[in-house]
């Protein structure tokens, strides 16, 4: 069957209008209110005559799943995944109302414009195109919009994994966790990073106990004092660079494409890391000190003190081993180490049919684009699929320039309408390639 001619100008307009509306659906998490997003998506699916299911863990933190059935001759389903919640914002720091979805200067502005209501719309459009044009499907195509990703997914993906595992059964997932840029290592070149793995979050609380007392009589069992010394040792800890195979592959491909002018030896990678925090983070078990709490009054020696550390381990690094190392570095039995949140993800191979298609179709639309398998410093819902053995990719087929970057979870988040077009078009061709 010949592929229908698709009017991408019209669909870009539709994508712009829908994204703008979707941003106006307030799903700031906390509290989330993702049922609102499901109601909004549900109205669009109803209009197209597509049935869907919603899944509510009992508190309105609803997720939505719709399925177009294929004949199964190419295997199990492809899931187009997105989360509908967004992170909070500081309204006074924004040029526009963050929940306005304002369209201005060729951009759609608002919280979720990049992370990740835009991708939800790109995925929705290819899903609808399949229904409207009755495109043949050799596997099921699933649209999945889930709650609570921004707060750890307890009421979203983790809930679905526990309560409705049957809907997660699939061969491939396309999700956030990758992305494109108009440059690579400072060289002008359209580049799309496809996320194949993620660093594992290990959130720790360090807690010190001591003896309270009057500030006028210092003694050597001050909890704040113990904690500050422990934190100082942690932050002075010289950790080695760890080049995992995924990261080596990323740099080898950059070298093969002549973006990196030297072979990717350990020394070269370490030099790059010294000047680039992201390249450093993907090569190291990182530690950010994020909160410090102690004391009640100026003249009272506190009895307890706490610090939180956001540690992120390179893929495959054992968390027990890291905590043993950290314990040795702190070298103070009075410091208690509590694990608050731990997650890890296996790596998805980049030698799959879907990966090849994502690479091919990205290059077809964006001539000369560089497509690279990459490790994300952040974590996403892909981990839930990867730990089930599913090939899940962070694939966001857009190329953001300096005027869009750095706004995810930041101020004045916005996406260029040109990127909405690009993303919708590539996403559709990838889905045709793997499902058609």
Nearest CB to Zn ion, comparing residues 27 and 281: 27
Bridge partners of 286, per DSSP, are 312
Nearest CB to Zn ion, comparing residues 227 and 427: 427
Element spanning 429, H or E: helix 417-435
- 291 three-state secondary structure: strand
Task: Please state at what angle helix 117-132 crosses helix 34-48, rounded to 10 degrees.
Answer: 20
Rg value, the chain, Cα: 23
Residue located via tokens 């497509």 = 371
Task: Please state at what angle helix 417-435 crosses helix 117-132, rounded to 10 degrees.
Answer: 50
The C-alpha atoms of residue 209 and residue 214 are separated, in whole angstroms, by: 16
Nearest CB to Zn ion, comparing residues 157 and 260: 157
Longest CA–CA span in the chain (Å) reads: 86
- Cα distances from 260 to residues 22, 137, 151, 187, 228, in angstroms, run 40, 40, 37, 9, 41
- The DSSP letter of residue 116 is T
Nearest CB to Zn ion, comparing residues 116 and 231: 116
| Minimum gap (Å) between residue 390 Cβ and Zn ion | 19
- Which residue sits closest to Zn ion, CB atoms considered? 115
Contact 180, 398 (CB under 8 A): yes
Its sign, for the CA torsion 33, 34, 38, 40, is: positive
| Minimum gap (Å) between residue 379 Cβ and Zn ion | 10
| Minimum gap (Å) between residue 381 Cβ and Zn ion | 8
| Minimum gap (Å) between residue 119 Cβ and Zn ion | 9
HSE-up of residue 244 (Cα within 13 Å, Cβ side): 24
| Minimum gap (Å) between residue 280 Cβ and Zn ion | 22
| Minimum gap (Å) between residue 176 Cβ and Zn ion | 5
Nearest CB to Zn ion, comparing residues 115 and 158: 115
Q: 334: Cβ–Cβ under 8 A, 6 or more apart, which residues?
A: 208, 209, 210, 226
- Cα distances from 256 to residues 34, 250, 264, 267, in angstroms, run 44, 10, 10, 18
**Binding interface with Zn ion (CB under 5 A):** 115-116, 176
- Cα distances from 378 to residues 189, 204, 246, 370, 388, in angstroms, run 24, 16, 15, 22, 20
Task: Please state at what angle helix 8-24 crosses helix 34-48, rounded to 10 degrees.
Answer: 150
| Minimum gap (Å) between residue 118 Cβ and Zn ion | 11
| Minimum gap (Å) between residue 42 Cβ and Zn ion | 21
How many residues are present in the chain?
A: 436
| Minimum gap (Å) between residue 116 Cβ and Zn ion | 4
| Minimum gap (Å) between residue 34 Cβ and Zn ion | 13
The C-alpha atoms of residue 174 and residue 392 are separated, in whole angstroms, by: 6
What dihedral do alpha carbons 281, 285, 290, 295 form, nearest 10°?
-160
Nearest CB to Zn ion, comparing residues 198 and 225: 198
Nearest CB to Zn ion, comparing residues 112 and 373: 112
Nearest CB to Zn ion, comparing residues 116 and 371: 116
Nearest CB to Zn ion, comparing residues 106 and 341: 341
Nearest CB to Zn ion, comparing residues 113 and 264: 113
| Minimum gap (Å) between residue 83 Cβ and Zn ion | 6
Contact 271, 363 (CB under 8 A): no
Nearest CB to Zn ion, comparing residues 63 and 283: 63
């Amino acid at each position: 069957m010949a592929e229908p001619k698709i009017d991408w100008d019209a669909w870009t307009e539709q994508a712009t209008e829908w994204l703008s509306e979707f941003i106006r659906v307030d799903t700031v998490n906390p509290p989330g209110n993702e049922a609102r997003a499901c109601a909004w998506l549900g109205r669009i699916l109803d209009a197209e005559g597509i049935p869907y299911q919603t899944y509510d863990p009992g508190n309105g933190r609803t997720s939505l799943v719709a399925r177009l059935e294929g004949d199964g001759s190419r295997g199990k389903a492809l899931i187009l995944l997105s989360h509908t919640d967004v992170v909070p914002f500081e309204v006074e720091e924004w040029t526009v109302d963050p929940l306005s979805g304002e369209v201005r200067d060729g951009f759609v502005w608002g919280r979720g414009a990049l992370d990740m209501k835009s991708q939800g719309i790109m995925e929705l459009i290819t899903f609808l195109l399949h229904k409207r044009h009755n495109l043949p499907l050799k596997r099921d195509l699933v649209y999945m919009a889930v709650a609570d990703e921004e707060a750890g997914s307890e009421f979203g993906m983790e809930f679905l994994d526990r309560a409705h595992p049957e809907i997660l059964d699939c061969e491939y997932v396309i999700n956030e966790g990758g992305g494109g840029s108009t440059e690579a290592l400072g060289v002008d070149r359209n580049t799309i990073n496809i996320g194949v793995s993620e660093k594992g979050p290990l959130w720790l609380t360090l807690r010190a106990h001591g003896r309270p007392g009057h500030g006028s009589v210092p003694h050597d069992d001050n909890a704040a004092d113990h904690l500050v010394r422990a934190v100082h040792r942690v932050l002075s800890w010289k950790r080695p660079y760890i080049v995992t195979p995924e990261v080596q592959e990323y740099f080898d491909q950059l070298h093969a494409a002549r973006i990196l002018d030297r072979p990717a030896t350990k020394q070269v990678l370490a030099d790059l890391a010294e000047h680039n925090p992201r390249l450093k983070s993907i090569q190291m078990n990182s530690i950010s000190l994020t909160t410090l709490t102690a004391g009640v009054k100026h003249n009272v020696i506190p009895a307890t003190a706490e610090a939180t550390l956001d540690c992120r381990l390179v893929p495959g690094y054992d968390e027990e081993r890291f905590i043993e190392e950290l314990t040795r570095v702190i070298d103070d039995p009075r410091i208690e180490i509590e694990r608050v949140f731990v997650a890890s993800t296996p790596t998805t191979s980049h030698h799959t049919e879907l990966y090849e298609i994502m690479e091919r179709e990205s290059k077809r639309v964006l001539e000369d684009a560089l497509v690279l398998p990459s490790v994300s410093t952040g974590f996403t819902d892909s981990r839930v699929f990867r730990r089930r053995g599913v090939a899940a990719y962070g694939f966001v087929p857009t190329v953001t320039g300096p005027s869009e970057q750095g706004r995810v979870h930041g101020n004045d988040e916005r996406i260029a309408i040109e990127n909405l077009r690009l993303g919708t078009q590539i996403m559709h061709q990838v889905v045709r390639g793997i499902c058609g």
